[in-house]
Structure 1
Amino acid sequence: MISSITARQREELSTGAQALGVALSPQQEDLLLGYLALLIKWNKAYNLTAVRDPDEMVSRHLLDSLSIAPYIGAADRWLDVGSGGGMPGIPLAILYPHKVIATLDSNGKKTRFQTQVKLELKLGNLEVIHSRVEGHTPQQPYQGIISRAFSSLEDFTNWTRHLGDSNTHWLAMKGLHPADELVALPADFEIDSAHALAVPGCQGQRHLLILRRKA
């Protein structure tokens, strides 16, 4: 499967990760490129991502997912909400094999793809959940909850409030800084920090907002 990956894509991943300050082992590079190969293959039939050009997928999917690595910290139970084709959850599961990373999506085709990735790449720390976010009831709160272009900040926090607690970090990956969305943030949430992300090869702005629930 990884034979379908070009030398240019491998080089772009390697140099891009270095630019982000993310140290990848050769095995992790192979797993990320194996995931990319599966994404390219399945995208033809399953419409997993609007990005159709495989040459754009390294920067817009792999490196974009890895760009939040400095903000993951010590928390070891994470949920990627509205994960779609598995981003950023699957790249993070590859990067952090000792953390439990759950990906949640209500689209059965997308979770079937994610399950296939889990099986083929032997990602034992990846949990794939086919559910609407409102219907998901974990046994214990997640330590971190991530969304990538999933919804407005208001909807993201309202729909996932029951999945975390005052110790949970909510990470919202955005394009432009969403000043208008921050105005509508629910009263029990506050912004912990905001970061501009420089993703190698990505045009346009990328921002990460880290939210907390007030105790």
Structure 2
Amino acid sequence: MNYYSELENISNFSHINIDDNKKEKLIEYSSLVIEYNKNINITGAKNTEDFFYFHIIDCLLALEIFSSYDNIIDIGSGAGLPSIPLAIVFNDKKFTLCESKNKKAEFLRLAKDKLQLNNIEIKCINAYEIKEKYDTITSRAFSDISSLLKIFNKIKNKDSKLIAYKGKIKKIEEELKNANIQKSKYNIEIKKLQIEDKERHIVIISNL
């Protein structure tokens, strides 16, 4: 796989520059995940190529959306997705990674140290125990929209946004229906991500 050409395509699409140092960190992060995964299961990806394409590239497709937001918390960060790829590119923004499982949180601390990511903070707690407020709440493959909305309402500010990575539009519509969202209270946007062979979307929820 030509990692650099993949990243160049992303930067061209989102109009955000990914310099060589950031590209190297993204590749190093992919290697860290797969090496750690040999002993502790933190991803279903079996090799660096799969993890890079199906996870890192997937996260970076939303770069343009995150460019306007700061003080971002990633709920159920797991292996660090989407927050570590975003934190590498946006090294001037603050990211909080919330992960309740100790072994996954240990990996996040390792990645922070190895990649010298001074703009991230790791919280090894249940998401419902968070007391601080954030202007941007994001999540990828953590839970359904109903559960995310409960967390969002607990830790949001007046102008906060929930940015959720999701898959097929049919599943999104089902989750939105089950969440029973009051249209008079929230604004909902669904943006399709441009990736081959997969149906991927971003759901953005904010107060009206």
TM-score, normalised with respect to structure 2: 0.91
Match of 1:171 in 2: 163
Matched, 1:206 2:196: no
Given candidates 108, 122, 143, the residue that maps to 2:102 is 108
* Structure 1 residues 129-148: aligned runs within 5 Å: 129-138=123-132, 141-148=133-140
* Structure 1 residues 29-44: aligned runs within 5 Å: 29-44=23-38
The alpha carbon displacement at 1:28 in A equals 0.4
Number of aligned positions between the proteins: 203
Q: Which amino acid aligns with 1:25?
A: D
* Structure 1 residues 55-204: aligned runs within 5 Å: 55-138=49-132, 141-177=133-169, 178-185=172-179, 186-187=181-182, 190-199=186-195, 202-204=196-198
Q: Distance in 2 between matches of 1:167 and 1:106?
A: 26
What are the superposed Cα offsets for residues 94-119 of structure 1, whole Å, 9 maximum, x if unpaired?
Answer: 01111001111111111110100101
Q: Which amino acid aligns with 1:171?
A: I
TM-score, normalised with respect to structure 1: 0.88
SS of 1:143 mapped into structure 2: strand
Compared with structure 1, are the counterparts of its residues 128 and 183 closer, same or farther at alpha carbon in structure 2 (3 Å cutoff)?
A: same
Q: Distance in 2 between matches of 1:161 and 1:205?
A: 28
The alpha carbon displacement at 1:189 in A equals 5.2
**Relative to structure 2, which stretch is displaced further, 150-159 or 20-29?**
20-29
Contact 1:77 1:100 in 2 (8 A): yes
SS of 1:83 mapped into structure 2: coil
Q: Distance in 2 between matches of 1:39 and 1:13?
A: 19
The alpha carbon displacement at 1:14 in A equals 2.9
SS of 1:76 mapped into structure 2: coil
Note the residue ranges of structure 1 that are not aligned, 5 or more in a row. 1-7
Contact 1:134 1:160 in 2 (8 A): no
Q: Which amino acid aligns with 1:190?
A: Y
Contact 1:197 1:206 in 2 (8 A): yes
Contact 2:4 2:23 in 1 (8 A): no
The alpha carbon displacement at 1:204 in A equals 1.8
Contact 2:7 2:57 in 1 (8 A): no
Which one scores higher on RCO, CA 8 angstroms, separation ≥ 6? 1
Q: Which amino acid aligns with 1:183?
A: K
SS of 1:91 mapped into structure 2: helix
RMSD: 1.7
Contact 1:191 1:209 in 2 (8 A): no
Given candidates 10, 25, 37, the residue that maps to 1:17 is 10
Contact 1:189 1:211 in 2 (8 A): no
Q: Distance in 2 between matches of 1:89 and 1:151?
A: 16
Q: Which amino acid aligns with 1:163?
A: I
Q: Which amino acid aligns with 2:190?
A: A
Compared with structure 1, are the counterparts of its residues 41 and 127 closer, same or farther at alpha carbon in structure 2 (3 Å cutoff)?
A: same
